[in-house]
Amino acid sequence: MTTSSRVIEHKRVAEISSTRKIIIGVVEILIGLLIYFAFAAKTAGDALTKFVMTPGGIDQGIMADWILPSKITLTILAVVSLVIGIYQVIKGFGKWTNLMVGISALSLIFAFLVWQAAGKQLNLAGMLSSAVLLAVPITLGAFSGILAERSGIINISIEGMMLMASMVAAIVGSVTKNPWLGLLGGILSSILLALILGVLSIKYKINQVISGTVINIFSAGMTAFISQKFLQHIQGLNNPKMFTRVPLPGLADIPLIGPILFNQNIFVYLMFVILIILQVALFQTRWGLRLRSVGEHPKAADTLGINVIRTRYMGVILSGLVAGIAGAFFTLGSVGRFDEGMTAGKGFIGLAAMIFGNWMPIGAIGAGMLFGFADAIGSKLSLLGSAIPPQFMAMAPYLITMIVLAGFIGKGQAPAAEGEPYEKE
């Protein structure tokens, strides 16, 4: 690149950065105005919002309820977002821009809850606890996608793997009366489908999207057939023991945080354990460097002696393992039985969370929590008698994902060689 072209490129990047700074600031200002005119201005001056800060049915980590003056709280939140937006437009926050965007977004969400619960009460702790639980399959689906796509394989069959694992986990758990064996059965079934995906995509170099679609169709058809033919008529095959809440000693007694994070079932703890392992393994170990290298520059990795084919198989198999845990959650950690199509697209939402999180484990769990929180809000709206349809809240995470993908918060960067079959020279 010549000196003149570098100058032109730097100017273009500077212009984009300046434009993005102004756009973000304007959006934050609009959020502040929305909070004030749509929420604060329409709230009675003497209205109080009561937030219950301990989930129902839990006697550990009890915390006093919050009682907030609705109008004053909404006005403060509006001012916070306005100040952030004005400063962003005038000067900018630099590397703290995304953090300020997050604060502004949280202000909007909290303002919405305060407004909805004005003159009423809302179990905020219970909603957050439900959000964590609802985020489990989405987050694990995102982790599954990261493992596959970081190695260069597009895995859109996560939905099918989860669905098959949920059914097998229910059957094995029912027959053995042991939820751990049910979990193992679900994982093995998902790994088997992952191996099929690996053979089709890596060995035979079939289009990876088509291979994943085939597995999704197979899983949907097979689980529906077995459910209709056997599970609906033989209840002994569809009545597994479930994993119950396991309060962690000491941690479960922490007010607010304890009941939400440390008094959950085993799947929530597995989600956080996998997060730590995946984050460290991908970015702090030689294994992670090799996995990422075959997803970015497989020819260069091969030149350095890395077995590209074997590494990609490993990534796909581990992807299947995590998807199996996600699928088993539905029958062993949530519902307690298998129903047709019970994953309800959570595997595809997990892929959206993966993209939202920029193919990073920490980003993926944040996106998963956002999706779970939106689901939890939707269910609470109906209980509060809100005029806003709960479907509107279900739309919110997808709208945010599109905004992120459009580059509002930052440009996502997929692995360079994902979806490309590797031919060893």
The pLDDT of residue 389 is 74
Task: Write down the mean pLDDT value for the chain.
Answer: 90
pLDDT in tens, 42-86: 999 999 999 999 998 888 999 999 999 999 999 999 999 999 999
Q: Is the pLDDT score of 12 beyond 50? A: no
pLDDT-derived band at 9, boundaries 50, 70, 90? very low
Phi-psi region of 420 (alpha: psi -120 to 50; beta: other; left: phi over 0): beta
pLDDT of residue 395: 75
User: pLDDT tier at 7 (50, 70, 90 boundaries)?
Assistant: very low
Question: Confidence band (pLDDT; 50, 70, 90) for 322?
Answer: very high
Reported as a single tens digit per residue, the pLDDT across 135-165 is: 999 999 999 999 999 999 999 999 999 999 9
Q: What is the CATH number of domain 125-405?
A: 1.10.3470
pLDDT at 157: 97
CATH 1.10.3470 location in the chain: 125-405
Count the neighbouring beta carbons within 10 Å of the beta carbon of residue 308.
Answer: 22
Q: Which stretch of 30-34, 85-89, 133-137, 385-389 has the lowest confidence by average pLDDT?
A: 385-389
Q: Are 369 and 260 in contact (CB under 8 A)?
A: no
Contact 141, 162 (CB under 8 A): yes
Average pLDDT over residues 12-40: 83
Q: Is the dihedral of CA 302, 305, 308, 312 positive or negative?
A: negative
Confidence at residue 8, expressed as pLDDT on a 0 to 100 scale:
47
Tell me: the pLDDT tens digits for 159-182? 999 999 999 999 999 999 999 999
Please give the structure tokens belonging to residue 18.
Answer: 């300046």
